[in-house]
């Protein structure tokens, strides 16, 4: 029933990557605590995702996305509960229900924003509306904010102009660095640095380490990561500036994330050999 209504309403927006991560963040719900994002995925999205996994021989993709999702949920909730951030701003939300899960876990009132390009936001809204009646979605759990980060960079739009009431934000940039040129991603971090009080969580791919899985994807799918120039050898990330702008910066490789969450949730550790997955890192700066 959910699928039918989503399939009928699906437009031509290119939503493959968002459908894939929305589905796969629910692959290991013990790790991600998410069984809801998959409700926003069309049957085409499900088929495309499984074809992708098969074609690129990447059976651990679901584990990587679920572990990332669970880690971001835990870290966001920890930050929002322990500190006095006034908001949670997710950029590139796609079809992820992360902000909804966060809103259910925190006990403080904060402003929550889901930001994405216009077409994705309207698709997101349509799909949420179509499942709303079948679940316990709180209709107002977040505000939508339309932003194209590349356009904002080109036009010189300041990020804080979009959120005039917000003084102490937590920014979540999940799965978006891969779509942005390096200069744009650095600019985005610079925009976040402007806030006196802030935190940011993001993931990125680093090319410094060998991975047969990464090579396979790069060789067979030229647009993967390269298009956005998004492979960051750790030296080219503005790591120094992160240290200058935050009290604490921690970086976690995906195998560490998998160990932390597996131990916490009584799951078997799966991300042991990075030849079998794309090595990414998660940065938590507070």
Ligand X SMILES: C[S@@+](CC[C@H](N)C(=O)[O-])C[C@H]1O[C@@H](n2cnc3c(N)ncnc32)[C@H](O)[C@@H]1O
Site residues (vs ligand X, CB under 6 A):
17-18, 21-22, 25, 92-94, 96, 116-117, 120, 147-150, 174-176, 179
Nearer to ligand X, 177 or 245 (CB): 177
CB of 37 to ligand X, least distance (A): 7
- Residue 231 Cα to chain centre, angstroms: 16
Q: What is the DSSP letter of 184?
A: H
Nearer to ligand X, 147 or 214 (CB): 147
**Partners of 145 in the beta sheet?**
115
Distances from the Cα of 51 to the Cα of 46, 62, 112, 163, 270, angstroms: 9, 13, 34, 39, 21
Nearer to ligand X, 45 or 92 (CB): 92
CA distance 150 to 169: 21
Q: How many CB atoms lie within 10 A of CB 87?
A: 19
Q: Give the 3-state secondary structure of residue 112.
A: strand
CB of 17 to ligand X, least distance (A): 4
CB of 244 to ligand X, least distance (A): 26
CB of 209 to ligand X, least distance (A): 21
Nearer to ligand X, 65 or 285 (CB): 65
Q: Give the 3-state secondary structure of residue 113.
A: strand
Nearer to ligand X, 21 or 191 (CB): 21
CB of 247 to ligand X, least distance (A): 26
Nearer to ligand X, 16 or 272 (CB): 16
CB of 90 to ligand X, least distance (A): 7
Q: Give the 3-state secondary structure of residue 111.
A: strand
110-129 burial, b if ≥16 CB within 10 A, otherwise e?
bebbbbbbeebbebbeebbe
* Cα maximum dimension of the chain: 51
CB of 73 to ligand X, least distance (A): 11
Nearer to ligand X, 50 or 243 (CB): 50
- Record the tokens describing residue 6, joined without a space: 């989503």
- Nearest to ligand X by Cβ — which residue? 94
CA distance 169 to 195: 8
């Amino acid at each position: 029933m959910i699928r039918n209504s989503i399939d009928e309403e699906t437009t031509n927006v290119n939503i493959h990557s968002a459908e894939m991560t929305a589905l796969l963040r629910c692959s290991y719900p013990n790790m991600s605590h998410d069984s809801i994002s998959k409700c926003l995925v069309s049957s085409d999205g499900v088929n495309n995702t499984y074809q992708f996994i098969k074609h690129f021989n990447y059976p651990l993709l679901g584990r990587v996305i679920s572990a990332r999702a669970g880690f971001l949920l835990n870290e966001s909730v920890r930050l929002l509960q322990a500190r006095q951030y006034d908001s949670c701003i997710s950029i590139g939300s796609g079809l992820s229900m992360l902000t909804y899960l966060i809103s259910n876990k925190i006990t403080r009132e904060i402003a929550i924003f889901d930001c994405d390009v216009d077409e994705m936001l309207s698709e997101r809204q349509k799909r949420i509306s179509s499942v709303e009646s079948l679940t316990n979605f709180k209709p107002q759990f977040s505000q939508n904010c339309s932003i194209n980060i590349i356009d904002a960079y080109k036009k010189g739009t300041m990020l804080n102009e979009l959120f005039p009431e917000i003084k102490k934000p937590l920014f979540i940039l999940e799965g978006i660095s891969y779509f942005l040129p390096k200069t744009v991603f650095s600019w985005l971090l610079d925009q976040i640095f402007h806030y006196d009080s802030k935190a940011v969580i993001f993931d990125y791919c680093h090319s410094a380490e060998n991975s047969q899985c990464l090579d396979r994807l790069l060789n067979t799918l030229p647009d993967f990561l390269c298009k956005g120039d998004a492979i960051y050898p750790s030296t080219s990330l503005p790591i120094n500036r992160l240290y200058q702008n935050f009290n604490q910066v921690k970086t976690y490789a995906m195998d560490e994330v998998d160990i932390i969450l597996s131990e916490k949730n009584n799951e078997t550790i799966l991300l042991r050999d990075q030849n079998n997955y794309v090595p990414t890192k998660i940065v938590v700066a507070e």
